[in-house]
Amino acid sequence: MSAESALSIREVTKTFPTPEGGEVRALDSVSLEVADGSFTVLLGPSGCGKTTLLRCIAGLESPDSGEIDLKGQRIDDVPVWKRRVNTVFQSYALFPHMTVAQNIAFGLEMDKLPKAQIQQKVGAALEMVRLSDLGARRPSQLSGGQQQRVALARALAKEPEVLLLDEPLSALDLKLRRGMQMELKRLQRETSITFVLVTHDQDEAMSMGDLVAVFDSGRIVQVGPPREVYLSPRTRFVADFIGEANLLEGAAAGGRIDIPGFGDVADEAMSAGSAPPQDGPVIVAVRPENVVLRPDPTGNGTIVDATFIGGDLHVEVAVGDTLLSVRQGGPGSEALAVGALVRVGFAPGSARIVEP
């Protein structure tokens, strides 16, 4: 384990029985290093294993095999109440009969801290989440966003080594969710506590995380900073799940790549980080904003749909049997009317070979 790691997860596997008498492998030899003081996001579709890993870290599930270390100490065999981690759930789990201040104080009272220290920590936690004037209210008297802040204050008041967040914003409407995303980032920066967030929302993951770990079928298939994961997806799944991607099937021979309808994909179009092509079938991923269209009466593509959304023109282009998504803005977009013939190409360095 690195001296700078808050969490070190090594070869963790977890299976669950099915009603039919079989088993499903929720986690399949998962390994991950979470840097101390970082904001790490576990991203993937429902049932991919991300919440199971979070529950294993929290002690709510026990791995079948593997190890989990917290600041150099193994914790996968340590009782929940002895782990220096706290969890914020989607449901908030606030006590309805208690005031906001009493909800925050509850865990501190269970730790048998002196009353004066509890009051000081509750006050500091309320100030941290900007609810200092609402300590006497009950949860039912708060908005959804305010209830979420109380849940965060309760978890942060105990000063955990790691704060685990299990889709905490999914119950909020879009505007509140965006505001809470910024609030979570602010709290993480100000406290320097390691945050680990589970979400299935790609935009949320890309806007919040220092590091994104993408899950698929119980495995982590890619880990990296958001920009790297978006621009350099390793697999077809990552390219398709994060953002939008055109996935083009072609063939490689002698170091060159041919895609039906496009011909040879020029070397300058391929990403420097793309794997060298081996002879045989290949899949090339290109983001919509990196497809280049040029009006051309002898072009290889036909505009089949064009819609302005915000400041961008969203275009669908048919190239043979392939339908591409394109995002284009700026001068020249007015020429891309439905039915127009265009020459379709790719921006330099934007095409990437991905694993199936």
Task: Work out the mean pLDDT of the chain and round it to a whole number.
Answer: 92
From the list 38, 82, 67, the residue with the least C-alpha distance to 197 is 38
The whole-model pTM stands at: 0.92
Residues 283, 284, 285, 289, CA torsion sign: negative
Does the pLDDT of residue 192 top 60, yes or no?
Answer: yes
Q: Which residue matches tokens 């039912």?
A: 140
Mean pLDDT of 140-147: 92
Q: Which residue matches tokens 């002196």?
A: 114
Least confident of 23-37, 134-148, 273-287: 273-287
In a domain, 238, yes or no: no
**How confident is the model over 199-209, as pLDDT tens digits?**
999 999 999 99
Do 218 and 256 share a structural domain? no
In a domain, 237, yes or no: no
Q: What are the φ/ψ torsions at residue 78 (nearest 5 degrees)?
A: -100, 135
Do 27 and 129 share a structural domain? yes
Helix axes 144-157, 115-128, angle to 10 degrees: 140
Q: In the chain, count of helices (H) and strands (E)? A: 8, 20
Helix (H, G, I), strand (E, B) or coil at 12: strand
pLDDT at 2: 47
Q: What are the φ/ψ torsions at residue 141 (nearest 5 degrees)?
A: -95, 10
Does the pLDDT of residue 330 top 70, yes or no?
Answer: no
Structural domain range at position 329: 244-354
pLDDT at 334: 63
In a domain, 89, yes or no: yes
- Provide the residue type at 215 as one letter: F
User: Of 196, 231, 266, which residue is a domain's last?
Assistant: 231
Do 224 and 258 share a structural domain? no
Do 207 and 250 share a structural domain? no
CATH code of 338's domain: 2.40.50.140
Mean pLDDT of 304-319: 89
Do 225 and 163 share a structural domain? yes
Do 227 and 269 share a structural domain? no
Do 204 and 83 share a structural domain? yes
**How confident is the model over 79-88, as pLDDT tens digits?**
999 999 999 9
Q: What is the DSSP string of 309-343?
A: ETTEEEEEEEETTEEEEEEE-STTGGG--TT-EEE
CATH code of 88's domain: 3.40.50.300
Structurally, the chain folds into a number of domains equal to: 2
Q: Tell me how far apart the alpha carbons of residues 195 and 209 are, in angstroms, rounded to a whole number.
A: 9
Do 263 and 153 share a structural domain? no
